[in-house]
Amino acid sequence: MVCILKSFRHKKNKMNIKTYKSLLLLGLFTIVGFYTSFGQSKDDKKQKEYTEIHNLVNSKNYVFVAQTVLPIGGRSINLTSPYNLKVSGDTVVSDLPYFGRAFVAPIDPSEAGIQFTSTNFNYNLKERKKGGWDIAILPKDTKDVRQMTLNVTEGGYGTLQVISNNKQQISYNGYIRAAKSKT
């Protein structure tokens, strides 16, 4: 009787070990499967994001949304209101705040920021070797702004530098997104 109980316990332990091994292998395969599918979807997401940003920049139909301002000689300022630069084919509309030294004071206080609409401008797009784009916008029909340089990463983040005739240079950090259609 004792011999039968010992053999039963021994078989029971063997079954448990086999069960544990099979569960362990099943769990391992499950984890590897999730990791593999997660990695592929992350790469797919990056590629989709790159294609979307590439198409926006090439189509000249996007909005740069400013989140922070970096005046020369000053601290970074977080923006709480929506300020942006809209590029839509044949028009550039700037609605950006200005912090810094102006060499000529505007007569109208509402013109203190960098606000203009330009329909006569050069748009030069250059792809960077390590990814991203450099965009130079040279408005010809504005009084103050001489050049705007927008550096865009593959993820859509950007830095906008504005060189002005009557103000110190200023930079903005933010991101680009698709322009909303007028319907």
Asked if 75 and 27 sit in the same domain, the reply is: no
In a domain, 122, yes or no: yes
How confident is the model at residue 4, as a pLDDT? Answer: 45
Residues 82-117: tens digit of each pLDDT: 999 999 989 999 999 988 787 776 666 666 788 999
Within 11-140, strands assigned E span 61-71, 77-88, 91-96, 114-118, 121-127, 133-139
Tell me the residue type at 171. S
Rounded mean pLDDT, 146-150: 93
What residue numbers bound the domain in which 171 lies? 60-178
Rounded to whole angstroms, the Cα distance separating 5 from 9 reads: 6
pTM for the whole thing? 0.73
Asked if 49 and 80 sit in the same domain, the reply is: no
SS3 96: strand
Burial class (CB in 10 A: 0-12, 13-18, 19+), 32: exposed
Task: Select the more confidently predicted residue: 161 or 110.
Answer: 161
Average pLDDT, the chain: 81
Judged by average pLDDT, the poorest of 42-51, 112-121, 132-141 is 42-51
Asked if 53 and 64 sit in the same domain, the reply is: no
CATH code (residue 135): 2.40.128.410
Of 41, 32, 91, 96, residue with least CA distance to 61: 91
Domain count within the chain: 2
In a domain, 183, yes or no: no
Asked if 34 and 46 sit in the same domain, the reply is: yes
How confident is the model at residue 158, as a pLDDT? Answer: 95
Residues 43-54: tens digit of each pLDDT: 778 888 888 888
